[in-house]
Amino acid sequence: MDREHPNISGSGDFLSLLREQGHLPQPTPLRSAGAPAVEITEGTTILALRFRDGVMVAGDRRATMGNTVVYDRADKVLSIDDCSIMALSGSPANAYEIARMLEISFQHYRRSQLQEMSLDGKLRTLSRLIRENLPMALQGIGAVVPIYATYEEPRADTYARPVGGTGEGAGKIYFYDVLGAQFESVDFCTTGSGSPIIRGALYYLDRWGSLPLAKMTREESLELILKMLETAAEFDTATGGYKPISRIFPQIMSITASGITNVPEIELELLYQAHLPGGSPEGNSEGKGE
């Protein structure tokens, strides 16, 4: 036991330590029967896909409360450390707190152990944070369903799919359910209210398209992501589309052997003009032809 801090035990990880000291709340009890329902802000839609050099992670910018648009510039794609990105769907309040605690946990481990946390350790930490959010998710007011993407140089003793390019097989995509169960996606993943609309399209293109997703160039992947988000915005009111007048663009990050890169808005604007003339119907003042 620490003599200067007698109430701090010498065991347990960083999250347990914070909870023991009262810096993290205890699990929230379920909402009692008959209690009034609370409308909670939610954010959708997010997706990630592997391309030739790594992983591309994207999200629309809309946050909703029921059928009301609360905000159209929400950040749903966050860099957690130098080699990992997390995209958030569900309750922004809980999602941002989970992302913050995940980032702090990685920093604490790095500073206390003088080395980076292993990938398995990072995945388990995120899984536990989501599981501890279960009481809120069961109430229907705080579910968080993230996508976690990372990049690891392939080792000689591990199997990597021959996708072409340098650093092949190094991009990894993981997603979780509300219970914290972890799953790995091979080539693409999408969650949120607009995900059912674009999941089938991504599967079709990956299997029967002219080029598998994992062999696409950076620009080809960006073009595909913009088209998928526009497709979701067309059929899902909770997903925000491109608005050329207000210049609202999706948030997109890529992770490769060179690190994490935030795709600038000017590049997205040029891609929209080149490949999606007119943008989203909600942002096109002339409307769609009949």
CA 20 to chain centre: 29
Q: Between the CA of residue 82 and those of 85, 103, 196, 254, 261, what are the distances in Å?
A: 9, 11, 31, 12, 10
Helix-, strand-, coil-residue percentages of the chain, each rounded to 5: 35, 20, 45
Active site amino acids: 44
Nearest 10 degrees: CA dihedral of 252, 44, 123, 130?
150
Residue-wise over 70-83: b if at least 16 C-beta within 10 A, else e? eeeebebbbbbbeb
Q: According to the 3-state scheme, what is the secondary structure of 240-270? A: CCCECCCCECCEEEEEECCEEEECCHHHHHH
